[in-house]
Structure 1
Amino acid sequence: MQNVKLDPAPVEVEVEVPGLHWAGFAGVVVLVLATWLPLPSVLVVALGVIGMAAFVVSWLLLGRRAADVSVRRLYTIAGLVSLPLLAARPLFSGDVYSYLAQGVIAAKGLDPYALGPAAALGAASPVTLQVSHYWQDTPAPYGPAFVGLSRVIAHLVGESVVGTVLLHRLLELIGVVLLAWALPRLARRAGVPPSVAVWLGLLNPLVLWHVVVGVHNDGLMIGLTVAGLELVYLGAARAGAARPALIAAGVVLVSAGANVKIVAVAALCFVGVDLARRARPAGKAAVLVGLPVGFALVTVLITLGSGLGFGWVRALAGVSSGAVHSWLAPTNELGFLVGGVGKLAGLDLTDSAIKVFSAVGAVAGLVVGARLLWLTYQERLHPLLGAGLAFAAMLVLGPVVQPWYLLWMIALLAVSLTTERARWILAGVSAVLALVLPPAGGGAVALVVGYLIAAGVVGATLHLRRASLLQPV
Structure 2
Amino acid sequence: MSTMSSPPITGPGDEPGSSEPGGRTRVAERPDERAHPGPVADASGPAASGTSRTATATGIPSRTILLGVIGACLAALGALGAGGTLVRDPILSGTSLTWIRFGHGKNLAELVVYLGVGLLVWAWVRLGRHVRAGRVGRRGVLLAITAWCVPVMLGPPLFTRDVYSYLGQGLLPLEGLDTYALGPAALDGPIAENVAWIWQTTPAPYGPLFILIAKGVVAISGHNMIAGVLLMRLALIGGMVMLCWALPRLAERLGGNPSVALWIGAANPLVVVHLVGGPHNDLLMIGLIAVGTLLVMRRQHVLGIVLVTLGSAIKIQAVVVLPFLVWIWARHLKGSEMTRFVRAAGTGVGVFLPVFAACQLVANVSLGWIPALGANSVVVNWTSLPTGAGQIAHGIASWFYNPSHSLYYTTARTLGMALLGYIALRQWWLARDGDEHNVIRRAALVMLAMSLLLQTTFPWYFTLALALAAVLPLSQWASTVIIFGSVFQLAITYPDGDAASNNYPHVAVLILLSLLAAASLLRHDPLELSRRSKGAHV
Please give the TM-score of this superposition, normalised by the length of structure 1: 0.87
Cα deviation for residue 377 of structure 1 reads 1.0
Name structure 1 gaps, 5 residues minimum.
Answer: 1-8, 237-245
- Find the counterpart in structure 1 of residue 6 from structure 2: none
With over 3 angstroms needed to count, the CA separation of the structure-2 counterparts of 1:448 and 1:401, relative to structure 1, is closer
Match of 1:299 in 2: 356
Correspondence for 2:277 among 213, 219, 227 = 213
CA deviation after TM superposition for structure 1 residue 64, in Å = 1.7
8 A contact 1:42–1:450 mirrored in 2:
no
Distance in 1 separating the partners of 2:291 and 2:276: 18
* Equivalent position to 1:106, from 154, 161, 173: 173
Does the 8 A contact of 1:100 with 1:150 survive in 2? yes
**Range moving further from structure 2, 344-353 or 127-136:** 344-353
Structure 2 residue aligned with 1:193: 257
Call closer, same or farther: CA 1:415–1:363 in 2, change over 3 Å. same
Please name the residue that 2:439 is paired with: 383
CA spacing shift, 1:138–1:333, aligned 2, 3 Å: same
- Equivalent AA in structure 2 for residue 313 of structure 1: I
Alignment partner of 2:193 out of 107, 115, 129: 129
Indicate if the aligned counterparts of 1:42 and 1:449 stay in contact, CA closer than 8 A.
no
1:261 matched to 2:315? The reply is yes
Residue from 26, 47, 57 that aligns with 2:70: 26
Q: Please name the residue that 2:238 is paired with.
A: 174
Structure 2 counterpart of 1:333: 388
Q: C-alpha distance in 1, partners of 2:369/2:417?
A: 20
**Contact 2:296-2:329 at 8 Å conserved across structures:** no
Give 2:403's aligned residue. 348
Specify the code of the residue in structure 2 equivalent to 1:305: V
1:43/1:450 contact within 8 Å kept:
no
Q: How far is 1:138 from its partner?
A: 0.6
CA contact (8 A) 2:161 2:496 kept: no
Q: Mark the CA change 1:462 to 1:21 in structure 2 (over 3 Å): closer, same or farther.
A: farther
Does residue 217 of structure 2 align to residue 153 of structure 1? yes
| 3-state secondary structure, aligned to 1:356 | helix
Aligned residue pairs total 447
Given that 1:326 and 1:399 are in contact with CA atoms closer than 8 Å, whether structure 2 keeps it comes out as no
Identity over aligned pairs, percent: 31
Q: Aligned-residue CA RMSD in angstroms?
A: 2.9
Are 1:249 and 2:249 counterparts? no
In 2 relative to 1, CA 378–469 (structure 1 residues): closer, same or farther, beyond 3 Å? farther
Q: CA deviation at 1:440?
A: 2.8
Which letter does structure 2 place at the counterpart of 1:46? L
How far has the Cα of 1:353 moved from its partner? 0.9
Shift of residue 44 of structure 1? 1.5
1:370-409 to 2 correspondence within 5 Å? Answer: 370-378=425-433, 382-409=438-465
Q: Which residue of 2 aligns with 1:165?
A: 229
Match of 1:11 in 2: 55
1:116–1:137 CA contact under 8 A, matched in 2: yes
Gaps of 5+ in 2: 1-52, 82-96, 518-524
1:299-332 Cα offsets, whole Å, 9 max, x none, are 111101211122222222444xx13223310110
Q: Name the counterpart of 2:20.
A: none
CA contact (8 A) 1:382 1:416 kept: no
One-letter amino acid of the counterpart of residue 239, structure 2: G
Q: What TM-score comes out, normalization by structure 2 length?
A: 0.77
CA separation of 1:23 and 1:301: change in aligned 2, threshold 3 A: same
- Aligned partner of 1:74 in structure 2 is 141
| Distance in 2 between residues matched to 1:195 and 1:471, nearest whole Å | 39
Q: CA distance change for structure 1 residues 359 and 260 in 2, over 3 Å: closer, same or farther?
A: same
Counterparts in 2 of 1:318 and 1:449: CA distance versus 1, 3 Å: closer
Q: CA 1:172/1:366 → structure 2, altered by over 3 Å: closer, same or farther?
A: same
Which residue, out of 425, 439, 443, partners 2:495?
439
CA distance in 1, matches of 2:413, 2:464: 20
Deviates more, 1:356-365 or 1:43-52: 43-52
Range with bigger deviation, 322-331 or 101-110: 322-331
Give 1 or 2 for the bigger CA radius of gyration.
Answer: 2
SS of the residue corresponding to residue 64 of structure 1 reads: helix
In 1: Cα distance, 2:219 partner to 2:233 partner: 16
In structure 2, the residue matched to 1:275 is 329
Q: 1:75 to 1:81 in 2, by over 3 A?
A: same
Quick check: which one's helix share is greater? 1
> Does the CA-based 8 Å contact 2:296-2:328 persist in structure 1?
no
